[in-house]
Structure 1
Amino acid sequence: MRVHKLTFAALAVAAGLSLTACQNGDAGAGQSDASSTPTASSGSNASSSGGSSDAGSSEQGGAKASTGTSSGGSSSGGSSSGGTGTAAGTGSDANAKVGKCRTDELEITAKDNTIDGDPDGTVVVEFTNGGGRDCTISGYAGVDLKTNAGSLSAKRTGQQATSTILKNGKSIDFPVNYPFNKSGGSGVRITGLVVTPPNETKSVTLNWPGAATLPVTDGSGSSVTVGPVGSAGQGG
């Protein structure tokens, strides 16, 4: 009997120890959980506090950045404004550089362009830009025929003149129309062609490539007409 009592007692002790161990384990787990919860809460608070700090920092930094941006914006705006001004200035300079075509920059030639059956003769005068830069040309050139009876100025046709940027090395032309001498007489002999580019005062004298004479007129007006630069073609 004593052996059985001892066995029961040993089993009771073992059970008690096992229960205690379980309780201690649960307590430890609870403690661990409790400790973990505050830690997480503390971490959360720290994070929250850090977040506030970061947020405050960020807000302050944002305010500074905003101020800096605003200031930079003003500065940038100033730069942009200055840049725009510079760009506009550059554009203006670029446009200013494309000045008018000067007589000395142009190679001026003339050729007969009369087509059989036309009622009038046509001479085409060509301007070739040899100035090493682009230039602007527009309007009517001055045209005078030198004759044995004196100088005869061509009359403008009245066509609309357009402005053209004549690239370096490129050409543009215009027509000079004149009546044929069908009078049977000697007429007025043409000895030369004087051309003054638009908006210029310097002229060049060329050989006249058209018919040798013009009919004698009653002096009521010029029988020779000139079209605007860029309008070369029969009839101006």
Structure 2
Amino acid sequence: MRAHKLTFAALVVAAGLSLTACQNDDAAVGQTDPSSAASASATGGGSGSGGPEADSGKESAGASPGGKDTAAPAGSDGSGKVAKCTTDGLEITAKDNFIDGDPDGTVAVELKNRSGGDCVISGFAGVDLKTAAGSLSATRTGAPGDPYVLKDGKTIAFAINYPLNETGGSGVRITGLVVTPPNETKSVTLAWPGRGSLPVTDGSDSGSVKVGPIGSAGQGG
């Protein structure tokens, strides 16, 4: 009887161990399946062309060329080039600039930009004195400076130097001043603001009247 009881107890223990093993196997299978499904889902989302991650990547890639375009320098096609100053866009005036004690007379010719926009000016203006004996062209003297951007409403000037008539005679009467801006063919005629005459000289008067480059009489406001 005791032997039967031991045998029955051993069967009960064995059955319990078998049931525990089956439960552990079922639990292991249950953990494996969800894990495999999550991994497949993530792989499918990442490789799909219509996923949010793909759309975001496309937008980011498209923003880079746009940034380069907006950073391109403006006016590279030459549209920002400043035009030269023209006779019609300048208000030209002349005034006596003689200082007591100077060996020669000086007239300052001012060119004010009235064009409505900036313009470039440089070099020498053409200068002719109208006299009772005919026209007298001034000789250029000095070195021209670099091209100057003359802002709208601003003034730049150049100087005319001429010999003073200290002979005691009437000399050669000056009746007018003709100015042609640099690189222009249209002239303006102004009243002569300096001394009224030039000394009479033997032969040609060439070189007696001199004109400096643009800016040689200072820059106005």
TM normalised by structure 2 equals 0.74
Contact 2:136/2:205 (8 A) holds in 1? no
8 Å contact from structure 1 (residues 140, 161) kept in 2: no
List runs of 5+ in structure 1 lacking aligned partners.
1-15
Deviations 1:49-95 (A, max 9, x none): 2233234337x99999989988x69xx59x949x9598523xx1231
Deviations, residues 160-195 of structure 1 (Å, cap 9, x unaligned): 232122222111111111121222322211111110
What's the counterpart of residue 48 of structure 2?
A: 57
Q: 1:184 is matched by which residue type in structure 2?
A: G
Report the CA distance shift for 1:170/1:34 in structure 2 as closer, same or farther (over 3 A).
Answer: farther
Mapped pair 1:182 → 2:173: no
Distance in structure 2 (CA, Å) of the matches to 1:34 and 1:220: 125
For the Cα contact (< 8 Å) 1:109–1:126, is it kept in 2? yes
Letter in 1 for 2:89: E
- CA distance 1:38–1:188, change in 2 (3 Å): farther
The CA distance in 1 between the partners of 2:175 and 2:87, in whole Å, is: 22
Q: 1:224 aligns with which of 185, 206, 209?
A: 209
Q: Provide the residue aligned with 1:202 in structure 2.
A: 186
Question: Deviation of residue 120 (structure 1)?
Answer: 1.4
SS of alignment partner, residue 94 of structure 1: coil
The answer for unaligned runs of 5 or more in structure 2 is 1-8
Looking at structure 1, the residues matched to 164 and 107 of structure 2 have their Cα atoms a distance apart, in angstroms, of: 12
One-letter code of the match for 2:79? D
Q: Contact 1:152 / 1:222 at 8 angstroms: preserved in 2? A: no
Q: Does residue 41 of structure 1 match 2:41?
A: no
Q: Is the 8 A contact 2:85 2:121 kept in 1?
A: yes
Correspondent of 1:93 among 79, 95, 101? 79
Name the SS for the 2:76 alignment partner: helix
Asked whether 1:148 is paired with 2:132, we answer yes
Q: What CA RMSD, in Å, does the superposition of the two structures yield over aligned residues?
A: 3.8
State whether structure 2 residue 107 is matched by structure 1 residue 123. yes
Q: Give the letter for the 2:154 counterpart.
A: K
Taking the aligned partners of 2:96 and 2:60, their CA distance within structure 1 comes to 70
Residue 208 (structure 1) shift: 0.8
Aligned residues: 201
In structure 2, the partner of 1:173 is: 157
1:113-166: CA deviation from partner (whole Å, max 9, x where unpaired): 111211211110011111222222221110011111111111111312321222
State the identity %.
52
Residue 42 of structure 1: SS of its match in structure 2?
A: helix
Alignment match, 1:108: 92
* Counterpart residue type for residue 109 of structure 1: T
The alignment's TM-score, normalised by the length of structure 1, stands at 0.69
